Amino acid sequence: MRNIFKGSLRGYVCEDCLEAVSEVEILIYHPYRNANSTANAASNVKETFRFVSKEEAKQRAELLVYKAKTDAEGNFQIEVSENHLDASFDIDFVCGTVPPKHPKPKRDEIVQLHITTFSMRLELEKQAKDEKHRWEYAIAYKWWCYIRGHFFDAWVICGHLMNCQTNKPIANAKVTAMDADFFTDDNLGTATTDSNGHFRIDYTSADFKKTFLSPWINIETDPSFLSFQSGPDVYFKAELGGTKLVDETKADARKNVGFCLCVNLCSDVNVVDPNDPNFPSAWTGIGAAFSSSYGSSSYDFDADGFAGSGKNVLYSVIRLTGQAALRSGSGNPIEYRFRVSDTTAPNNTVSLPESNFTKIVGVTPGLFTSSIVSKLTRKVFSFILNDIFVWSDQSDFDAEGWFDVNHAIERTLIAVGLTPADLALYNIIEEDTLISLNTTALTTAPSIPANSINAGQNIPAGSKIPLEKFAIRFEIREVIDKPSNNFGVIGGNGKTLNSVVMNNNPIYRKLSIKELDESSLCSPISGTIHGRYTVYHPYLAGCSLHLNNNSHTVERDILDGVINTLPAVDERTNNSSQLNNPPADMTRCTYTLKLFSSTRKHNGDYGDSDGGTPLEQLFFYDV
């Protein structure tokens, strides 16, 4: 009976990235220094793995018993003599190359490493019980990365590309690694992600030591200027069909990386697989700034309906964001809709009853606004119709406000001269927007009439703008048989925000100079002068006064104890805010008094620009 010892040798380039150590020579020795007892066979590999010096290799030459070579998978086997069945052996390997077949190093040295000591009898008994069993050894990544890089100039990047929200892998994406340099950034390589979102980029130091004098002079030119670190400063780009998934810059670079770089990249772009029944459907946010949930994080809604840590209120057109599968696992279309209720409740209480939601986006006039809900990008590049943007349309809703993105995609394909069958030629990029809602169709509070209140006057209590809140509900379903009202339940159905504060009123601002009001706007003024202002909005974020003259010898904020007082309230009013800064610093010149202000209105992507341009009052000061 033949006794075959089967083994396998692999090495970690990252903690989750293992590669076969192929085409290397395996050496089996009698134990060095008479360490030949079975009791010593179970060596601690962390202590025994080491380099073998030339001197030691010579001393152990007469102890060599067997040789073998690993195949492409890192496997090897040796036929063991009957005389050696009860012996313990040292196992080494001579590393003449590393994946992906980097040449033997130019330096004149043999890279031999001792792995461990093992009992032949124990290993053969394990193989007798299980014919698939192999003695296996995986070299720790710190050792293997050093061996690859130091002796073979083999550098590697091993990573994954996932969706930031769902942690779902993104396949077929092109990932490019760049080295940030002072002169010109180096392209270290590009790889395509597999079905698990995994990618690997192999390179050498020559790839990141390029200069404008290459190939005659190569050196790593660190962008921090003349620091000349040994490793590259790596940042990443990733795209799928022309859509940017990851767009890092030099500022994001990982500084002076080692021989092995392990990264996890994520993208906010959702790539939809229409045939994947496990693609999660959910309403997750409002724009890019806020979640659609109650919570304590900086982007959640609080119990009263204010958004994020800034206590923002929603205004204008908002994007209701998230993701929805095109079809269920059984191939049926999936539809969704958003409904609105005038009745609200705190967000930290049970969801409002479904019957409260009487307004429907796509049905109630004015609520729906068209927006990009998907993007189709050719799997194989084409100069014609390579990228097609899918805009939502009123025709994509049924009479009850159910939105069918499949209809939107098919309608778009037909509109550009294609057919629904051509969808197979495209990747479907989820654009994050489910539906866009126009909040101006909900809010009704009247604004302060223009010029109804003079600068320096308070806003009458009866004229102030009331609080307006609404609730939003997301519903989603599988369409099994629409004519017979046969629908399936989809996870995420019924997601509700009980309270969302909205406001579409402009800020009310008035500014004047008291001494000009009492004379004429064209008269020079002197002595002690005063500003008048009125700033009002129910969600006032901040306001300030700034004074400067044409020569900018005077350039300062006005601190009058009113406009700069915290915390912010809904109104700032002063009928006599002194502008002079004792001792008198105002010289004969033309001056500008500016009133800056802002509100907490936000559409989920941008804050309100209302109040962004300051009110200005010019005057001439004469000593």
* Range in 161-165, 212-216, 353-357, 442-446 with the lowest mean pLDDT: 212-216
Comparing CA positions, the residue from 302, 371, 325, 290 lying closest to residue 493 is: 325
Q: What is the mean pLDDT of residues 238-256?
A: 86
**Highest mean pLDDT (candidates 17-26, 500-509, 567-576):** 500-509
Mean pLDDT of 160-180: 86
pLDDT digits 0-9 by tens, 596-617: 999 999 999 998 877 668 999 9
100: CB partners within 8 A, 6+ apart: 202
Per CATH, is 508-621 categorized as 1.10.3430?
no
Least confident stretch, 44-58, 184-198, 208-222, 537-551: 208-222
Dist CA 402 CA 5 (whole Å): 66
Q: At 56, is the pLDDT very low, low, confident or very high (cuts 50, 70, 90)?
A: very high
Q: CA neighbours within 13 Å on the CB side: how many for 219? A: 13
Give Cα 585 to chain centroid, integer Å: 51
User: Which pLDDT score is estimated for 227?
Assistant: 35
Q: Are 167 and 278 in contact (CB under 8 A)?
A: no
Q: What is the per-residue pLDDT for 35?
A: 43
Segment 60-119, tens digit of pLDDT: 999 999 999 999 899 999 999 988 988 899 999 999 888 876 665 555 567 899 999 999
- CATH fold, domain 154-268, is Immunoglobulin-like (2.60.40)
pLDDT-derived band of residue 36, with 50, 70 and 90 as boundaries?
Answer: very low
DSSP 90-151: EEEEE---BTTTBPPPSSS---EEEEEEEEHHHHHHHHHH-TT--EEEEE-HHHHHHIIIII
Q: Distance between CA 289 and CA 602 in Å, rounded?
A: 9
Domain ranges of the chain: 3-139, 154-268, 282-501, 508-621
> How far is the C-alpha of 31 from the C-alpha of 36, rounded, in Å?
5
* pLDDT tens digits, one per residue of 545-555: 999 999 899 99
DSSP 3-state assignment of 157?
strand
What's the CATH architecture for 3-139? Sandwich (2.60)
